[in-house]
Amino acid sequence: MSLAAYCVICWRRIGTSTPPPRSFTYWRQIRNIIKFTGSLILGGSLFLTYEVLALKKSLTLDTQVVEREKMKSYIYLHPGPLDKRENHGIACLARKELHKAVRKILAASAKILQSPFADTFSTVDIEDHECAMWLLLKKSKADERTARLEAVQEMSETHHWHDYQYRIIAQACDARTLIGLARSKESDLRFFLPPPPLPSLKEDSSIEEELRQLLASLPQTELDECIQYFTSLALSESSQSLAAQKGGLWCFGGNGLPYAESFGEVPSATVEMFCLEAIVKHSEIPTHCDKIEASGGLQLLQRLYQLHRDCPKVQRNIMRIIGNMALNEHLFSTIVHSGWVSIMAEALKSPHIMKSSHAARTLANLDRETVQERYQDGVYVLHPQYRTSQPIKADVLFIHGLMGAAFKTWRQQDSERILIEKALEDEDRYTTCWPKTWLARDCPALRIISVEYDTTLSDWRAGCPAERKTIAFRSNELLSKLRAAGVGDRPMIWISHSMGGLLVKKMLLEASQKPEMSPIISNTRGIIFYSVPHHGSHLAEYSVNIRYLLFPSLEVKELSKDSPALKTLQDDFLEFAKDKSFQVLSFVETQPTYIGSMIKLHVVPVESADLGIGELIPVDVNHLNICKPKKKEAFLYQRTLQFIRETLAKDLEK
């Protein structure tokens, strides 16, 4: 839109009786530098866009916006009241104010942000209340790390700025500052610009087809046998689904899609979930992350994320992929420029723990300013999820059992049926994850980590060429992930439920055999077991059909009372623990667990939960609720809290 056209629009909207002047001598003087386009929005802010022309010859701006938006930027101005008595000459006044605002941005950017062309403007025309903003921007790019951290903290704690000031920082700050703001609890979301427009889908294509094509483009190298098998299966099944979808029919051809729970399920959602599960595993390989990025995967996944705002499972898998890609520093710039930091900043503030924890993991992996650890898929920090000045003195790790998860295993007992709305009002009454809320408040100096080992892929089919579900395989995989997350660098306590306790024992035995894992052994201060079947479970005594309701067959075999692997693990652990000084506390259920409405099982009897060392406490609950306190004052939580405080007392006092 030309300047003349813009002024005509202003004249028509304000109803002035004199048409705008035809001569624009004043503006022609800078016409070779900037061309204005804009529109006036009544009742809101005056949002003006300017496109910088021939900028390289006149000025260099040290701002990320120039790189990101190909020489475009934005100015946010608040217009005065449009009273009829003040409308005289408003077009002329608008031109003057616009020129003044543009000059401020260019001059301030050049001089304050240390542009090599600072002498282009002899003075910097900035209002007094704006000086702090520009000085903080300059400080955020200081050579000293302490100064940069202080600048980000001051920005995040500022809540009195005008809208345009937040937007200026959003455009002028560098990626490091943007990530720091995203990880600051008090940050205003106006610090984050909306993601750039997504490219159009290819002609005669759908998002499901493009997702499948992305999966098909990923290399089949550097994969273990199971991932190759599942990728091939995903491509085959999604191809059948898409063919059925195009033909107007929905069939379960071939082996059948495991996610299709009913005839009413939408085929496209099934295709997306099936492909996303495979892409998650590919994203664990750095070279495959490069391929995902080069193929436009960041934009495709963002489109899918936006389309499925009402499908948390799809969004979580997408966030897992982005979190894995964020482990590769050479991809940071692309991830930031594609708008994912803005999306994660919003998700981190979500009241839903799974969404916020996935976002926290991604942002922590991007934050090389304050985070040295690497959080691989399945390792989630429940506290602290934001940057904090609170020194972290110890770690507490939560390991769920089979059929459990990193968050839902540790929720409050469901029997009270307290509404979620009440939970948001008062987390002391109800919590969806007591380690994140109750424990974090009672022990703020702890880093609280919850681990999730993924069995989804290995449960797709029983025909995987390699066994992935043994305790030995899982313990090795988790041990390497935890060490990458810095586990072992601080004093630590392990907390586990059911088979998770067997994994803890196996991980400690494995760590004792590897010199590089020795810090995990030396820093282990204690272990809490919630109904762990050290000596096997009655589960294996039930019929095959009932066993399959609980665990896959391999786990049932390992949990049976006559399992050689389980007996060896128990004997080896007792031998290992003889000369160790860590404390042990065990809880065990005394009530049977109901499976459906017809079956009840006593999964772990008291004699099986007895490790042979430490204290054993029977509790009047079932196997599922042994790790889910009814309320914060309940014995299960208070005894757990007491154990943590006493075991880490010396470490927390330092």
pLDDT at position 179 is 98
- Report the pLDDT averaged over residues 391-396: 97
Shared domain check, 498 and 392: yes
CA distances to 299, 411, 533, 593, 627 from 496, in Å? 38, 14, 11, 18, 9
Q: Tell me the pLDDT band of 540, cut-offs 50, 70 and 90.
A: low
- Report the pLDDT averaged over residues 213-218: 92
For 420, the token pair is 């979620």
Q: Does some domain include residue 46?
A: no
Shared domain check, 324 and 347: yes
CB of 439 within 8 A of CB of 417? no
Q: Does some domain include residue 376?
A: yes
- Report the pLDDT averaged over residues 421-429: 52
pLDDT at position 40 is 35
Which residue would you say has higher pLDDT here, 649 or 233?
649
- Report the pLDDT averaged over residues 432-457: 88
Checking if the pLDDT of 403 tops 70, the result is yes
Which residue would you say has higher pLDDT here, 617 or 256?
617
CB of 367 within 8 A of CB of 433? no
Checking if the pLDDT of 183 tops 90, the result is yes
Q: Tell me the pLDDT band of 544, cut-offs 50, 70 and 90.
A: very low
Q: Which of 454, 402, 410 is nearest to 431 (CA)?
A: 410
Shared domain check, 648 and 583: yes
pLDDT at position 234 is 77
Distance CA 532, CA 521 (A): 21
pLDDT at position 134 is 86
Which residue would you say has higher pLDDT here, 452 or 263?
452
Shared domain check, 383 and 317: no
Checking if the pLDDT of 420 tops 50, the result is no
Shared domain check, 592 and 565: yes
Distance CA 544, CA 553 (A): 9
pTM above 0.85, yes or no: no
Checking if the pLDDT of 315 tops 70, the result is yes
Shared domain check, 210 and 140: no
Q: Does some domain include residue 599?
A: yes
Q: What order do you get walking across the sheet with 34-39 strand by strand?
A: 34-39, 46-52, 72-77
Q: Does some domain include residue 136?
A: yes
Q: Does some domain include residue 387?
A: yes
Residue 530, classed as helix, strand or coil, is strand
Checking if the pLDDT of 260 tops 60, the result is no
Shared domain check, 504 and 434: yes
Q: Which of 533, 547, 548, 546 is nearest to 605 (CA)?
A: 533
Checking if the pLDDT of 285 tops 80, the result is yes
Comparing 305-319, 419-433, 457-471, 596-610, the range with the smallest average pLDDT is 457-471
Checking if the pLDDT of 42 tops 50, the result is no
Q: Which of 354, 369, 384 is the last residue of a domain?
A: 369
Which residue would you say has higher pLDDT here, 126 or 144?
144
Q: Does some domain include residue 32?
A: no
Q: Tell me the pLDDT band of 277, cut-offs 50, 70 and 90.
A: confident
Domain coverage including residue 178? 129-191
Question: What total number of domains does the chain contain?
Answer: 3
Distance CA 149, CA 131 (A): 19
- Report the pLDDT averaged over residues 467-491: 87
For 77, the token pair is 């101005």
Checking if the pLDDT of 269 tops 90, the result is no
Q: Tell me the pLDDT band of 566, cut-offs 50, 70 and 90.
A: confident
- Report the pLDDT averaged over residues 260-285: 68
The helix-helix angle for 312-325 and 340-348 (nearest 10°) equals 120
Which residue would you say has higher pLDDT here, 231 or 302?
302
Using a 10 angstrom Cβ sphere, with 0-12 exposed, 13-18 middle and 19 or more buried, the burial of residue 2 is exposed
- Which segments of 358-426 are extended strands (E)? 379-383, 394-399
Which residue would you say has higher pLDDT here, 44 or 128?
128
* pLDDT tens profile 332-389: 999 999 999 999 999 999 999 999 999 999 999 999 999 999 999 999 999 999 999 9
Shared domain check, 603 and 566: yes
What average pLDDT does the structure give for the chain?
77
Which residue would you say has higher pLDDT here, 595 or 172?
172
pLDDT at position 416 is 47
Checking if the pLDDT of 36 tops 90, the result is no
Comparing 246-250, 280-284, 592-596, 622-626, the range with the smallest average pLDDT is 246-250
Which residue would you say has higher pLDDT here, 527 or 471?
527
What percentage of the chain carries pLDDT values higher than 70?
65
Which residue would you say has higher pLDDT here, 60 or 341?
341
The winner for highest mean pLDDT among 215-224, 253-262, 393-402, 536-545 is 393-402
Q: CATH no. for residue 380?
A: 3.40.50.1820
Shared domain check, 512 and 458: yes
pLDDT at position 102 is 57
Shared domain check, 339 and 208: yes
Distance CA 471, CA 487 (A): 20
pLDDT at position 243 is 54
pLDDT at position 253 is 30
Using a 10 angstrom Cβ sphere, with 0-12 exposed, 13-18 middle and 19 or more buried, the burial of residue 640 is buried
Shared domain check, 515 and 402: yes
Q: Does some domain include residue 410?
A: yes
Comparing 103-107, 400-404, 576-580, 611-615, the range with the smallest average pLDDT is 103-107
Shared domain check, 378 and 348: no
Q: Does some domain include residue 77?
A: no
pLDDT at position 257 is 34
- Report the pLDDT averaged over residues 433-461: 82
Comparing 248-252, 448-452, 532-536, the range with the smallest average pLDDT is 248-252
Q: CATH no. for residue 354?
A: 1.25.10.10
Which residue would you say has higher pLDDT here, 14 or 207?
207
Q: Which of 428, 554, 573 is nearest to 496 (CA)?
A: 573
